[in-house]
Amino acid sequence: MSNLRNSVRLVGFLGRDPEVKLSANNKKVARVSIATNDSYKNDKGERVEETQWHNLVMWDKTAAFAESYLHKGTEVSIEGRLTNRVYTDKSGVKKYYTEVVVNEIMFAGPKRENGGSETEI
């Protein structure tokens, strides 16, 4: 059960194309955001939809997969772990940033023309 201590699974839609760069130690890194949707009924019985945005980071092979196959609007299922970073901006204000380091990613939703929803990395 030790692998469940910091585990995140999300299914959602990419908000933009992945931003891919090489890190200082020459590793490929991809960053993108994913939107997850939830709905519930409020006190008046009205259906309320909520969208949450999550920051994703992918390294090496997963980043290469993202660069080649992922685009804005793609529905994906991801598994990874949460990480937190703290930095100070140009104004001297401390900023806190939470992201999901993706270990696995696969297409979700309807089958795609180039191989269906089974593609996984």
- How far apart (Å, rounded) are the C-alpha atoms in residues 11 and 51? 12
Confidence of residue 118 (pLDDT cuts 50, 70, 90): very low
Which pLDDT belongs to residue 109?
A: 73
**Range(s) of the domain holding residue 19:** 2-38+47-110
Q: How many domains does the chain fold into?
A: 1
- How far apart (Å, rounded) are the C-alpha atoms in residues 11 and 9? 7
For residue 31, give the CATH number of its domain. 2.40.50.140
Domain membership flag for residue 26: yes
Please say if the pLDDT value at position 30 is more than 70: yes
Domain membership flag for residue 87: yes
Quote the pTM value.
0.80
Domain membership flag for residue 121: no
Q: What is the DSSP string of 30-94?
A: EEEEEEEEEEEE-TTS-EEEEEEEEEEEEEHHHHHHHHHH--TT-EEEEEEEEEEEEEE-TTS-E
- How far apart (Å, rounded) are the C-alpha atoms in residues 90 and 70? 32
Which pLDDT belongs to residue 2?
A: 56
